[in-house]
């Protein structure tokens, strides 16, 4: 089983949007997928409760000891403010961390601080965990994207995708869906932006 933690201590950076869509992508590829919702707000849990039954199945697990689950992928949505002992504990469970970053100077600065904290964790330094960044609600060729790239210089963390602000994410979430459950024509432009991230995930398959 491969485990992905979606994390950024900054609130509203796009963790739940990204984690539900990553889980939806993997499920759409025919993988057995579970989500673990560490956030007390339980947004991912509520989203899953509204997921139509005919769509590719995503299980919900309450336990971090998901090793017993017969799933190939576990996607973990985490709360704002994740740090310290909780972060250390969660890192022991995972193979990959994806950090979604919102397009503001404050978000980018705070996220760089978080990436530095991650980098200082022994398990990350030893190369046992892959870390990547996703620019959320961010278009390439904008000031935010350029600033993010400058901030990441010297950190050796890849940018896996820029996912632009799109109603498709918002509308899909209302219905327990992801981009990967919509008719292709409804999300064509958005899906294009996922290619590199998909390849990154597939390398780990």
Ligand X SMILES: Nc1ncnc2c1ncn2[C@@H]1O[C@H](COP(=O)(O)OP(=O)(O)OP(=O)(O)O)[C@@H](O)[C@H]1O
* Positions in the binding site for ligand X (CB under 6 A): 11-17, 39, 80, 136-137, 163, 165-166, 169-170
For ligand X, the closer of residues 41 and 199 by Cβ is 41
Q: What angle do CA 30, 34, 38 make, to 5 degrees?
A: 150
By CB under 5 A, the residues from 135 to 154 that bind Mg ion are none
Instruction: Report if residue 16 touches Mg ion, rule: CB under 5 A.
Output: yes
Give min distance, CB of 126 to ligand X, in A: 28
Place of tokens 């990959």: 96
Cβ neighbours of residue 47 closer than 8 Å, sequence gap 6 or more: 16, 20, 173, 176
* Residue 17 contact among ligand X, Mg ion, none, beta carbon within 5 to 8 Å by kind: ligand X
Give min distance, CB of 75 to Mg ion, in A: 13
φ and ψ of 122, to 5 deg: -55, -45
Contact criterion met (CB below 8 Å) for 142 and 103: yes
Contact criterion met (CB below 8 Å) for 147 and 106: no
Instruction: Report if residue 21 touches Mg ion, rule: CB under 5 A.
Output: no
Give min distance, CB of 39 to ligand X, in A: 5
For Mg ion, the closer of residues 3 and 43 by Cβ is 43
Q: Are strands 130-136 and 96-101 parallel, antiparallel or unpaired?
A: parallel
For ligand X, the closer of residues 14 and 56 by Cβ is 14
Burial 45-81 (b: 16+ CB within 10 A, else e): eebbeebeeebbebbebeebebeebebebbbbbbbee
Binding piece for Mg ion, criterion CB under 5 A, among 7-15, 101-109, 111-119, 151-159? 7-15
For Mg ion, the closer of residues 9 and 56 by Cβ is 9
For ligand X, the closer of residues 34 and 172 by Cβ is 172
Measured distance CA(31)–CA(106) in Å, rounded: 36
Q: Which residues bind Mg ion (CB under 5 A)?
A: 15-16, 43
């Amino acid at each position: 089983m491969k485990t992905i933690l979606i994390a950024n201590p900054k609130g509203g950076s796009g963790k739940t949007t990204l984690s539900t869509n990553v889980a939806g992508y993997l499920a759409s590829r025919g993988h057995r997928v579970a989500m673990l919702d560490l956030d007390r707000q339980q947004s991912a849990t509520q989203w899953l409760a509204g997921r139509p039954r005919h769509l590719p199945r995503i299980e919900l697990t309450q336990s971090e000891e998901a090793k017993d689950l017969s799933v190939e992928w576990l996607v973990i949505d985490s709360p704002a403010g994740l740090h310290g002992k909780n972060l250390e504990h969660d890192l022991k469970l995972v193979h990959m961390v994806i950090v979604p970053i919102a397009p503001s100077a404050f978000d980018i600065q705070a996220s760089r601080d978080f990436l530095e904290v991650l980098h200082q964790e022994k398990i990350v330094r030893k190369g046992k965990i892959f870390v990547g960044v996703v620019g959320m609600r961010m278009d390439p060729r904008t000031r935010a994207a350029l600033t993010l790239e400058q901030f990441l210089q010297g950190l050796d963390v890849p940018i896996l995708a820029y996912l632009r602000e799109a109603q498709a994410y918002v509308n899909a979430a209302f219905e327990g869906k992801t981009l990967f459950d919509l008719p292709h024509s409804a999300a064509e432009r958005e899906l294009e932006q996922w290619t590199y991230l998909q390849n990154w995930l597939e390398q780990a398959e």
